[in-house]
Structure 1
């Protein structure tokens, strides 16, 4: 009996269970990792330049300050442009601008601090403009069920960069000068510019655009439409401006005065990064029922860092507190980014993300600038106690906002 004719059965592709096997995401992850390495390496390389005498401490402060100014000025502009046109194009031109400005840092080294400051402003602008574009591009490249994994992988790469970047840079400095290392960061910016994949096609045919300030205000209205986002952003800003500043300014003083060694400082910072790496791995898969509340509880864990410095406890307690703070910050960051990508209107996501970076990271230098005078005026113990209290209180208040329980926006009828 003849066999029935063969038929070609087309089966739909099985849904991906991990974002790590997606070639498009691999390109995006590699691009963001390159930008992260370039961002975190620059201050360390400039610090090496101070040590070898090719840059003064005052020059270092000026260069880093202009980079911060460029970052803050470009973040809202980058958010608007990334919502107007291709997110990939904004990433590309931002990275290219940073890459082209980097050689002028090397040229000015040992000669013109003003040239270095101007170049650093452009590098900072490239860094600031690409941040909201990367956030929005992730939402275009990655399917919704896998975005939490994707954001966890992104933040994991950032933490690895901060952990191995200084040591790797110091190792490279034994065979290459600081000028060559600066040029290396320019190559990293080129990778960040050229490697990310295209996102979703953008709308065409719009001939009239609103002025920049109108589109920025439109993004602000979109952010205010999500009460949980505004409350969470306020809590994040408070924690960074206080807990992060306590780590940056007061931890070195406590390490020196209470323990008589810088080992506690190095161990605490390493513990924080190790905790953040563990948190990123955990949150890639963990889905608590009340994810927003769990994320805010994680954010509140940063309060244990200044609290551990308040008393002359055993160094192990300080290290454990910083591990807990690191785990907690990623338990917040990853669901926070994922919720914004899910809840915010796609055409306004980059602008809302720019508000996130502008307020949370933009106010961090203010906290760093004020905490040392406050410690002199009121004492280190009073400042540490206030920082710890605000780190605990701000997320608790944010948890009361509508939609904060699961980071979801419920429209009123």
Structure 2
């Protein structure tokens, strides 16, 4: 199976649309290999420098705080400038910040404020990259094969994550975490080079607008007019925050104190990657008629890793929980991306994606920074049980929104970038799949 399998008929696409899909997939695989190991490395670099749970949380919060500050601006810019240029510039910033981070860790001179600053720069790059990348991917495929293409994209990306997480954990156990950060910097350099060759000639030119603020208001109107969209964005503002606290802060601590160190935690994250691979493979075949209903039901299992860490489960059982969670989140992810592709006009994809990402990360800095103090006040196990309970509660709440239960997939006439008009979400009828969303 290749990217050509997902290219739309020649009559409905430019000749190089399939090439864009291939370049985007290759670049995502490369960055996924580096990033999944680097996330583990950053946490253990803080711990090995003498930091505690609060310091790990501060560094994690420093990565996500710039996302909250710059995402909406990044989305508006990505709908104004050529998206591939925004992506390349962001990759260059990520490469530089991770390279300096690696050098400081390897030389033993890394201080907390330096690690926070460098991760903040990396987060700034992601604030501009994420909306541009999602808009570029959504516009790279059209027609009835779009959902299958999104599933294959995620399957490829998560396949790389399996090796990245396992290799990262193994490298940290055998050598300095700085080397894992150096590999991540190199991955950003290679991926940015590939993205420089993306072709944006098939994307219609944007009419002059009233400025960045006007573009952001226009994006907000697109979100506010669709109850299914803003409800799920609000849901994931809580879900991603508590998952971030559990996996970025409590997970490494439980691994260090209860599971034997970085290697078992790397295996657990790799099991999640295997699950996402299986879930994406499933979504290349399964087409649930009510795509958001199926996807939202599969958010409930995201409570399982927090509960498993609270017990804590043995390594093998924890890996099993992470595997099931990976499958479930891919069902949601593919359904979500298909809904965006189907419903949102192409020229507004990056702005809407920016609000999606903004909702997903807005509370992460607060949650990760508060993780250490909450552990001190309530205990680690109680904090993790609280994370699990919040995920269940907000997911049950979003099922009360009729559009979430009723939005269905159209099997014909979907030519990418969403031809749907505002308010159409509750009226379309057919089937669906998708990808990314706030966890993407």
Query: Same fold by TM (over 0.5)?
Result: yes
Seen in structure 2, the aligned counterparts of structure 1 residues 199 and 67 have a Cα distance that, compared at 3 Å, is farther
| Aligned residue in 2 for 1:146 | 145
**Aligned-pair distance for 1:402?**
3.0
Q: Residue 58 of structure 2 contacts residue 368 of structure 2 at CA under 8 Å; is this kept in 1?
A: no
Seen in structure 2, the aligned counterparts of structure 1 residues 50 and 398 have a Cα distance that, compared at 3 Å, is closer
CA distance in 2, matches of 1:308, 1:48: 21
| Aligned residue in 2 for 1:88 | 84
CA distance in 1, matches of 2:103, 2:315: 44
CA distance in 1, matches of 2:89, 2:312: 50
Q: Residue 142 of structure 1 contacts residue 150 of structure 1 at CA under 8 Å; is this kept in 2?
A: yes
**Aligned-pair distance for 1:203?**
2.3
More moved, 108-117 vs 88-97 = 108-117
1:197 to 196, 199, 203: 199
Matched residue SS, 2:403 = coil
**Aligned-pair distance for 1:89?**
2.9
CA distance in 1, matches of 2:318, 2:212: 46
Name the count of aligned residue pairs. Answer: 393
More moved, 337-346 vs 309-318 = 309-318
Q: After superposition, where does 1:298-337 map in structure 2 within 5 Å? A: 298-311=298-311, 317-337=317-337
**Aligned-pair distance for 1:343?**
0.8
Q: Residue 66 of structure 2 contacts residue 120 of structure 2 at CA under 8 Å; is this kept in 1?
A: yes
Seen in structure 2, the aligned counterparts of structure 1 residues 76 and 275 have a Cα distance that, compared at 3 Å, is same
Q: Deviations over 1:186-211 (max 9, x none)?
A: 523432541433263332562xx323
Q: Residue 45 of structure 1 contacts residue 181 of structure 1 at CA under 8 Å; is this kept in 2?
A: no
| Aligned residue in 2 for 1:32 | 28
Higher relative contact order (CA closer than 8 Å, sequence separation 6+): 2
| Aligned residue in 1 for 2:236 | 236
CA distance in 2, matches of 1:195, 1:145: 26
Q: After superposition, where does 1:367-406 map in structure 2 within 5 Å? A: 367-406=367-406
Seen in structure 2, the aligned counterparts of structure 1 residues 68 and 37 have a Cα distance that, compared at 3 Å, is farther
**Aligned-pair distance for 1:260?**
6.2
**Aligned-pair distance for 1:162?**
3.0
More moved, 168-177 vs 237-246 = 168-177
Aligned-residue Cα RMSD (Å) equals 3.9
**Aligned-pair distance for 1:253?**
5.3
Q: Residue 255 of structure 1 contacts residue 261 of structure 1 at CA under 8 Å; is this kept in 2?
A: yes
Structure of greater Rg = 1
Q: Tell me the TM-score normalised to structure 2 length.
A: 0.74
Q: Residue 98 of structure 2 contacts residue 182 of structure 2 at CA under 8 Å; is this kept in 1?
A: no
| Aligned residue in 1 for 2:214 | 214
Seen in structure 2, the aligned counterparts of structure 1 residues 182 and 360 have a Cα distance that, compared at 3 Å, is closer
**Aligned-pair distance for 1:379?**
3.9
Q: Residue 280 of structure 2 contacts residue 334 of structure 2 at CA under 8 Å; is this kept in 1?
A: yes
More moved, 218-227 vs 191-200 = 191-200
Q: Tell me the TM-score normalised to structure 1 length.
A: 0.78
Q: Residue 399 of structure 2 contacts residue 405 of structure 2 at CA under 8 Å; is this kept in 1?
A: yes
| Aligned residue in 2 for 1:155 | 154
Matched residue SS, 2:326 = helix
Q: Deviations over 1:163-216 (max 9, x none)?
A: 22255466699799849646524523432541433263332562xx32323321
Q: Residue 105 of structure 1 contacts residue 182 of structure 1 at CA under 8 Å; is this kept in 2?
A: no
| Aligned residue in 2 for 1:23 | 19
Q: Residue 374 of structure 1 contacts residue 383 of structure 1 at CA under 8 Å; is this kept in 2?
A: yes
Say whether 1:268 aligns with 2:268: yes
CA distance in 2, matches of 1:396, 1:60: 31
**Aligned-pair distance for 1:242?**
2.2
**Aligned-pair distance for 1:243?**
3.8
Q: Residue 30 of structure 1 contacts residue 195 of structure 1 at CA under 8 Å; is this kept in 2?
A: no
Say whether 1:79 aligns with 2:81: no
